[in-house]
Chain A
Amino acid sequence: MQEFSFIGTETPRPDAADKAAGKALYIHDLSRPGMLYGKIKFSEYAHARIKSIDTSRAEKLPGVRAVVTGYNTPEVRIGFIRDNFALKKDKVRQFRDEVAAVAAIDPEIAEEAVDLIHVEYEELPGVFSPEEALQEGAPLVHEVDVRGRPKTDNRVPVPWKFVSGDVEKAKEKAAYWAESHFETPLIQQSCMGTAGCIAEFDLQNNLLIHTKTQIPFLAQNDFNRALAALGLKGKNSRVIVPTLGGSFGTGLDTHGYEYIAILLAYKTGRPVKIILTREEEFTALSPRQPSKSHIIQGCDGEGKLLFRDIRMVLDNGAYTSWGATTPSVMMLPISSLYRVPNVFFETAIVYTNNTYCQAMRGYGNPQAAWALESNLDELAEKAGMDPYEFRRKNANIPNDITPMGLHITTCGLKECLDTVADKLQWREKRGRESGKARGVGMASLFHVGGSGRVYRSDGSGIILKLDDFGNVSVISGGIEMGQGFGVALCLATAEALGVTPDKVTVITGDTATCPWDVGTHASRGAFTSCNAAILASEKARKKIFELASEHFMSRVKSKMKKQKRKNPDFEIPDLDYERICDPTEFDMRENMLFLKEEPKNAYLRVSLGDILRAAHYKEQGTMVVTEAFYDPCNQMIDAKTCHGNLSATYIFGTQGAEVEVDLDTGQVKVLNFVAAHDVGQVLSRHAIRGQIYGGVVQGIGYALAEEYKTHKGKNLNPNFLDYKIFSAPDIDFPIEIECVETHDIEGPFGAKGVGEPGLVPTAPAIANAVYDAIGVRIKSLPITPEKVLKALRERT
């Protein structure tokens, strides 16, 4: 296979030193001259009419510079179907509705002012589950749709349906089938750095906003729309993204607090900073979409999958955001994880007075995998087959087209399955340890690995700018959020261009200076930006070699003369110093240009900086700046049929767990965990290990511990004491990971995306292991001790 200088190495991340020294600046650390502090007043009810808002006492508090409500600001509609508003008028539909906001000279005054705002409500009956919301005569969360037409029910007009083959016919032919109902809860992304922004206007009324986002250019578009609502149509927004304290999908939508900061900045003429407290991060940000799935899978007498029928009900919450589009990703494993010819998938998405959801790592895939992979084990049991053998029999293979029209090219699924089975000692343990309440289980994943065309453009731009010293700025519209985007881009650029990583500076996060990028989502960051960097590097090399053709030999001659001046005994070699080389004669590695024909010749070597200075400092001089815009060969899926080759390539993986269940407490203890992922090619070893380990631990949290609890729409556990994310001592078992490198031709140096898969199959792997251990299947997450004990009792 190809030998790389930097790809696949343990080169440290370029941003690591500043972070270790406490020098990295997150949104919390930024300050702007004359800055005010904003604070939001949230609703006191899940569903109520707003009768009046009295802001007079707040306005009079010394230090307060503005108080805004939906009544004294222009209406700003937000969300992709525009059913949400920055500040609420007439009624509130969920506890996190923003009713008013304050800007003051310090955060404590702002907080005090918020308490002084008095809102009178008339409480309305609410609906807190899709079932309740769909009942005849249920109160309507939205009485009118976005066009003002009356609504007759609580259905969200974003229906998803996928059909392939004929599931009803297949049901008749099936020898075995398994039917079950599975549920997943609300989950909080729990970034260690909470969300926030600083909004300000310049004297031409253009907006500058520093904000936590993964989609700076889509946000620019959203904010420009908001400016139009303020009467500033044609004005521009500049979005600057500081160092992010994690994101995990929270940065994929624009949020109420951003629009409120913009309104306050406009009203006061000063920068306004809003930072969410940890409690607000829980209650006012959008969590992972919960799901309720009814699934039936069937196979023939030999265990070949025949059909998959899955119907989901999704609680949309009060407004529509990306949660309502998670089915577009769920469709990927539903139609294409393992080879299934007949598929039926339908969703009902319903408004309620609960919190609304948007994106979280995996974007629907973990929810789908929970149902698919738990149920697959049930089917394997019905068919009398070992679940590993069953998976292997139905595994995807390279160069195949799935029912959704996805073109699978590289596929390491069989290797992943085999690796997990081997490392877990599957044959020795499966079905043999239940006397000790121990068991093993596995589950696989299928996800996009070459981006996913969810918008009409799936592009990522790169600009390469070389300076006089051979340093390279690689300027990208993508976002580093801790996942290692920066190190991947640094190593890819160094490798492709022929310089060392220490000469590369990655610059991101400014819509005014960075090239357009649709956003860092769908595990696409490294895949698209590194591909663009490779294209831009090829252009740069071409330019550099053209310049070298003019300057190389004269620089060599100059070096020889300098050597002679230093050391009079030095004999200047007899070379043809007047020769004009052809550009194709050159190669460049580790900052040095040399002739391909004589790579070892110590005299015929000139540094990149030398060539660049020679080309720059002369009459009609030139500098090297190149660009590329990479938009992958993938398609948007058809709006009606949901068919289309969504990604340029796909990723696979299998995870497995050995668990032991305490029969007295119901506690599930993980003894061993293995993750095998088809990654195409490792780019940065530190980053890929971090992504997989981090994903696995989040996945185990999803399986065993995390649950955003609500009662009648109110969040009950908005803190880390009651919302349990794992700490170091909780990881008291080995986690072994294996990167299967399938060398995909579409990927940069063969790499495929790896940001999300780490937590996709984790929960079903654990549930399947629990079943092997104690013969009970928990079908709703998280798998708590209470649920295990209840299931054990019910079984006996």
Chain B
Amino acid sequence: MKKEIHFRLNGYEVAAEVESHKMLLNVLREQFHLTGTKEGCGQGECGACTVLVDGLNVDSCLYPAFEVEGKSVTTIEGLVGEGNVLHPIQKAFVEGGGIQCGFCTPGMIMSAKALLDETPDPDEAEIKRGISGNLCRCTGYVQIIESIEKAKEFVQAESADETD
């Protein structure tokens, strides 16, 4: 069964005709060609498919596409600012050494964004909980956590700049 869904994607109102069994991950990658969001397991175990739906980080591989009707979706591509400027969290991962093979990175960054939006000043335990659903095989998590701590500062500095 096919249906046209309408939702907000990375700031733009979009529409797509999707089949009932498709997950949000399939729609993003196949129909919108946003390949930044990855499929790591297809079973909601690894978090590589993490995107934000109405600000909450979700596993898009288990999120039925029909359910996204009327909602706001942000993918990793949506964090890159005008003029190809990395979002402070993306910049923090680059400078903090939190990226190795990079496959978990988009999901990790989206979870970090959800965390920092909710808790601007998380401690180490809160950071680990915030990315508990994102598996990484390369880094051992240490430099990812350091990158999120750096991201904390970058985000705070940016909002300080904006209020000046």
Chain A residues packing against B (C-beta within 8 Å) = 10, 12-13, 15-26, 28-29, 189-194, 243-248, 277-278, 481-484, 685-687, 689-690, 693-698, 719-721, 725-729, 731-732, 735
Is B160 engaged at the interface, CB distance under 8 Å to the other chain? no
Q: Are A19 and B43 in contact (CB under 8 A)?
A: no
Q: Which of B43, B75, B100 contacts A694 (CB 8 A)?
A: B100
Q: Are A12 and B94 in contact (CB under 8 A)?
A: yes
Is B39 engaged at the interface, CB distance under 8 Å to the other chain? yes
Q: Are B135 and A725 in contact (CB under 8 A)?
A: yes
- Complex: chain B residue closest to A694, CB-CB: B140
Q: Which of B42-56 contact A (CB under 8 A)?
A: 42-43, 45-46, 48
How many residue pairs link A and B with beta carbons under 8 A? The number is 178
A466 to B150, CA, bound (A): 36
- Which of chain A's residues have a CB closer than 8 A to the CB of B142? 689, 693, 731, 735
Q: Which of B29, B42, B48, B141 has most chain A Cβ within 10 Å?
A: B141
Contact A20/B90 with A689-B97, A690-B100, A725-B137 known, Cβ cut-off 8 Å? yes
Q: Are A192 and B145 in contact (CB under 8 A)?
A: no
A412 to B89, CA, bound (A): 38
A732 to B126, CA, bound (A): 12
Q: Are B36 and A246 in contact (CB under 8 A)?
A: no
Q: Provide a sorted-by-A list of 14 A–B residue pairs whose CB atoms are within 8 angstroms.
A: A18-B102, A20-B99, A22-B35, A28-B35, A29-B29, A192-B104, A246-B103, A248-B137, A278-B40, A695-B140, A698-B137, A720-B41, A727-B141, A729-B132
Q: Are B38 and A28 in contact (CB under 8 A)?
A: yes
Contact with A along B59-75 (1 / 0, CB 8 A): 00000000000000001
A190 to B109, CA, bound (A): 21
Q: Are A727 and B135 in contact (CB under 8 A)?
A: yes
**Residue total for B at the interface (Cβ-Cβ under 8 A):** 54
Q: Give A692 Cβ to nearest chain B Cβ, in Å.
A: 8
A277 to B43, CA, bound (A): 10
Q: Are A278 and B86 in contact (CB under 8 A)?
A: no
- Complex: chain A residue closest to B21, CB-CB: A108
6 closest A-B pairs (Cβ-Cβ)? Answer: A22-B36, A482-B101, A19-B102, A686-B97, A245-B103, A697-B140
Q: Are B40 and A22 in contact (CB under 8 A)?
A: no
| Additional A-B contact list (5), CB under 8 Å, known A16-B102, A690-B139 | A19-B102, A21-B90, A22-B106, A727-B141, A732-B128
- Complex: chain A residue closest to B77, CB-CB: A22
- Complex: chain A residue closest to B80, CB-CB: A21
Secondary structure type dominating chain B contacts: loop
- Which of chain B's residues have a CB closer than 8 A to the CB of A21? 36, 76-77, 79-80, 86, 90
A698 to B138, CA, bound (A): 8
Q: Are A19 and B37 in contact (CB under 8 A)?
A: no
Q: Are A191 and B101 in contact (CB under 8 A)?
A: yes
Q: Which of B34, B37, B128 contacts A728 (CB 8 A)?
A: B128
Contact A690/B86 with A19-B102, A21-B77, A192-B103 known, Cβ cut-off 8 Å? no
Q: Are B135 and A192 in contact (CB under 8 A)?
A: yes
Q: Which of B38, B97, B129 contacts A193 (CB 8 A)?
A: B38
Q: Are A484 and B100 in contact (CB under 8 A)?
A: yes
Q: Which of B36, B104, B109 has most chain A Cβ within 10 Å?
A: B36
Secondary structure type dominating chain A contacts: loop
Q: Give A285 Cβ to nearest chain B Cβ, in Å.
A: 14
- Which of chain B's residues have a CB closer than 8 A to the CB of A191? 101, 103, 137
Q: Which of B45, B100, B106, B129 contacts A721 (CB 8 A)?
A: B45
A28 to B104, CA, bound (A): 14
Is B57 engaged at the interface, CB distance under 8 Å to the other chain? no
- Which of chain B's residues have a CB closer than 8 A to the CB of A484? 100
Q: Which of A10, A696, A720 contacts B140 (CB 8 A)?
A: A696
Q: Are A10 and B137 in contact (CB under 8 A)?
A: no
- Complex: chain B residue closest to A189, CB-CB: B137
- Which of chain B's residues have a CB closer than 8 A to the CB of A243? 101-102
Q: Are B46 and A192 in contact (CB under 8 A)?
A: yes
Q: Which of B74-131 contact A (CB under 8 A)?
A: 75-77, 79-80, 86, 90-91, 93-95, 97, 99-106, 109, 125, 127-129, 131
A190 to B103, CA, bound (A): 12
- Which of chain B's residues have a CB closer than 8 A to the CB of A12? 94-95, 97
Q: Are A190 and B137 in contact (CB under 8 A)?
A: yes
- Which of chain A's residues have a CB closer than 8 A to the CB of B94? 12-13, 16-17, 20
Q: Give A754 Cβ to nearest chain B Cβ, in Å.
A: 13
Is B58 engaged at the interface, CB distance under 8 Å to the other chain? no
- Which of chain B's residues have a CB closer than 8 A to the CB of A696? 140
Q: Which of B36, B48, B101 contacts A23 (CB 8 A)?
A: B36
- Which of chain A's residues have a CB closer than 8 A to the CB of B104? 192
Q: Are B40 and A728 in contact (CB under 8 A)?
A: no
- Which of chain A's residues have a CB closer than 8 A to the CB of B91? 20
A735 to B141, CA, bound (A): 11
Q: Are B101 and A193 in contact (CB under 8 A)?
A: yes
- Which of chain A's residues have a CB closer than 8 A to the CB of B140? 690, 693-698, 731, 735
- Which of chain B's residues have a CB closer than 8 A to the CB of A695? 140
Q: Are B39 and A16 in contact (CB under 8 A)?
A: no
Q: Are A24 and B45 in contact (CB under 8 A)?
A: no
Q: Are A246 and B137 in contact (CB under 8 A)?
A: yes
Is B27 engaged at the interface, CB distance under 8 Å to the other chain? no
Contact A728/B97 with A22-B76, A25-B35 known, Cβ cut-off 8 Å? no
- Which of chain A's residues have a CB closer than 8 A to the CB of B29? 29
- Which of chain B's residues have a CB closer than 8 A to the CB of A693? 139-143
Q: Are B102 and A690 in contact (CB under 8 A)?
A: no
- Complex: chain B residue closest to A483, CB-CB: B100
- Which of chain B's residues have a CB closer than 8 A to the CB of A731? 128, 140-142
Q: Give B111 Cβ to nearest chain A Cβ, in Å.
A: 10
Q: Give A190 Cβ to nearest chain B Cβ, in Å.
A: 5
Q: Which of A16, A246, A728 contacts B138 (CB 8 A)?
A: A246
Is B23 engaged at the interface, CB distance under 8 Å to the other chain? no
Is B136 engaged at the interface, CB distance under 8 Å to the other chain? yes
- Which of chain A's residues have a CB closer than 8 A to the CB of B39? 28
- Which of chain A's residues have a CB closer than 8 A to the CB of B42? 277-278
Q: Give A161 Cβ to nearest chain B Cβ, in Å.
A: 35
- Which of chain B's residues have a CB closer than 8 A to the CB of A25? 35
- Which of chain B's residues have a CB closer than 8 A to the CB of A727? 131-135, 141
Q: Are B80 and A278 in contact (CB under 8 A)?
A: no
A689 to B145, CA, bound (A): 13
Q: Are B75 and A22 in contact (CB under 8 A)?
A: yes
Q: Are A192 and B97 in contact (CB under 8 A)?
A: no
- Complex: chain B residue closest to A17, CB-CB: B94
